[in-house]
Amino acid sequence: MFETGIRQLRMAVGTLSGRRLDTRNIGRLVDDALATLAEFGEPGADVQQLIGGGAADPEERLEAANRAVRRTARRLASVSPFYARRFAAISAEVDQLDVAGLRAIPVTTKHDLAERAADFRCTDVAGYLSTRTTGTTGRPAEIWMSRYEMELWPALSALALVLRDELRPGDIMQVNFSSRAVAANHLASAQCRLANAGCRLLGIMAPDDALDSLGEFGTTLLATYPSYLAELVTAARRRGLGPEDFSLRRVTVGGEVLSPTLARAACQTLGVAHVEDTFSMTEVIPVTGRTCSQAHVHYDVSTGLTELLDLETGEPAEPGALGTVVITPYFPYRDCMPVFRYDTRDVARALADEPLSCEMADVPATSQILGKAGDLLHAATGVATPRQLVDAIEALPTAPWPARYRAAVHEGRIALTLPASAIADYGEAAAREHFADAGLDVELSIADDGRARPMRHTRSDLHETSFSAAQALVGA
Ligand SMILES: [Zn+2]
């Protein structure tokens, strides 16, 4: 039954003709997958393509991308006021459009989305739920989603998670995302519902409360941001907690740089084999990326097109060059407020132009995300990325997690300000050497810890108060 269902779904995906998918069928496929796994222990052949994304043959994959780009553009030209104008302005022939021709279409920026949100709403779809971006750059953008999208996305992701054995019936998932990340929270709970797992949406609560909760009710999965994971690990170490205090099987993070030092510490303290580092962004849902064992990010090709564009020229980044990740989610995976060639400003390096040898070699990839384009430091010795800084700071023996710093380029060198606690008992001289060893030419200054907060913002700063965790009111 399951193989038949998968075949039908692949056929539907392969021959999409502008119709939406039947979300109930995908929900049923999750049930079938669970039943098959329960009976046979594995889902059988031929499903990796569906969940990993697309054909292994590059030509076949390009042809599928060309069809999907055309299908998406054709629809936007008729129902998205923003893109109807944009395509008309450059006389784009949407019926002829393909991946190569895409370059003529200007990228869409967060500024476009924030300033002209109403123009992005497609005229043939009713909005059901809105969500706001919770990143640390710029004004939040509000994205509207249709009922169809909110049924489709968790069904597709639950299917992939179940088939990869990453989500099982009986699992309990603790979700520490900002409560305002409505889409991410909704998707997590809907995935759990479809997989017969439990879900605890806790928000960015006091880390000690989150730790208490992690140790309860046999919580097996944790989903959060790297900076909040840093707070949890720090609090757990302070309390002397270790793997025996938790029953976690998987920890998944995304949305920020995860340093190797923090990942290792989280594994040791929480008792998991590794921390999964995923790429996702509200504006480009449902397109996601997964990190492989060789630290590439591989982008799902079935739900969208991912490009890496050179930061200077806007052309495809050459091997080794830095580029910004630009994503086009395809119709019918996105229908209410779609974006086309959305410039995430997340920077990655283009991989060498040679075949990959990792376990996801068939899926297109870039380096890990290195930080936001606006945070790159153009020093005399070359460009330093936020990832380099975070990796180096979080590797300090004082374990200052999540990394707090302020950085700018001053006379060609990186002027780096750290809070005093980051080098306590270690000293400035040793710290300078530490950064030099990491290949960073820094001019170090130290600020009082009280001034550490306004330094680098992280998503863990989105702390939500409660009456038990908040400080007593003055005069109370
Ligand atoms: Zn890889």
Q: pLDDT tens across 145-156, in order?
A: 999 999 999 999
Compute, in angstroms, the gap from residue 280 CA to the centroid of ligand 1.
Answer: 17
Compute, in angstroms, the gap from residue 361 CA to the centroid of ligand 1.
Answer: 6
Compute, in angstroms, the gap from residue 291 CA to the centroid of ligand 1.
Answer: 7
295-299 average pLDDT score? 97
Q: Write the CB contacts of 282 (distance below 8 Å, at least 6 apart in sequence).
A: 131, 132, 133, 134, 141, 143, 181, 183, 184
Compute, in angstroms, the gap from residue 253 CA to the centroid of ligand 1.
Answer: 18
Q: Residue 453: is its pLDDT beyond 80? A: no
The secondary element (H helix, E strand) that includes residue 344 is strand 342-349
Exposed (0-12), middle (13-18) or buried (19+): which is 421, by Cβ within 10 Å?
Answer: middle
For position 29, what pLDDT does the model report? 84
pLDDT confidence bin for 32, thresholds 50/70/90:
confident
Compute, in angstroms, the gap from residue 86 CA to the centroid of ligand 1.
Answer: 35
Compute, in angstroms, the gap from residue 325 CA to the centroid of ligand 1.
Answer: 16
**Amino acid, single-letter form, for residue 166:** E
Nearest C-alpha neighbor of 130 from the set 113, 110, 150: 150
Exposed (0-12), middle (13-18) or buried (19+): which is 123, by Cβ within 10 Å?
Answer: exposed
What is the average pLDDT value for the chain, to the nearest integer? 91
Compute, in angstroms, the gap from residue 290 CA to the centroid of ligand 1.
Answer: 9
Compute, in angstroms, the gap from residue 461 CA to the centroid of ligand 1.
Answer: 31
Cα angle, residue 430 at apex, residues 424 and 432 outer, rounded to 5°? 105
Nearest C-alpha neighbor of 324 from the set 110, 67, 77, 94: 110
Compute, in angstroms, the gap from residue 360 CA to the centroid of ligand 1.
Answer: 5
Q: pLDDT tens across 324-381, in order?
A: 999 999 999 999 999 999 999 999 999 999 999 999 998 999 999 999 999 999 999 9
Q: Write the CB contacts of 91 (distance below 8 Å, at least 6 apart in sequence).
A: none
d(CA 345, CA 117): 19
**Other beta carbons less than 10 A from residue 411's beta carbon:** 8
Q: pLDDT tens across 192-243, in order?
A: 999 999 999 999 999 999 999 999 889 999 999 999 999 999 999 999 999 9
Q: Write the CB contacts of 16 (distance below 8 Å, at least 6 apart in sequence).
A: 67, 68, 71, 332
Nearest C-alpha neighbor of 231 from the set 201, 259, 208: 208
Compute, in angstroms, the gap from residue 413 CA to the centroid of ligand 1.
Answer: 33
Q: Which residues in 272-283 are b (16+ Cβ under 10 Å) and which e?
A: beebbbebbbbb
Q: Which residues in 454-467 are b (16+ Cβ under 10 Å) and which e?
A: ebbebbbebbeeee
Compute, in angstroms, the gap from residue 474 CA to the centroid of ligand 1.
Answer: 54
**Above pLDDT 70, what percent of the chain?**
90
Question: Rounded to two decimals, what is the model's pTM?
Answer: 0.92
Compute, in angstroms, the gap from residue 321 CA to the centroid of ligand 1.
Answer: 17
d(CA 8, CA 281): 29
Q: Is 186 helix (H, G, I), strand (E, B) or coil?
A: helix
Residue 454, preceding peptide bond in cis (omega within 30° of 0): no
Compute, in angstroms, the gap from residue 276 CA to the centroid of ligand 1.
Answer: 13
Compute, in angstroms, the gap from residue 161 CA to the centroid of ligand 1.
Answer: 19
d(CA 61, CA 98): 12
Strands, E assignment, 15-159: 129-132, 142-145
Compute, in angstroms, the gap from residue 448 CA to the centroid of ligand 1.
Answer: 41
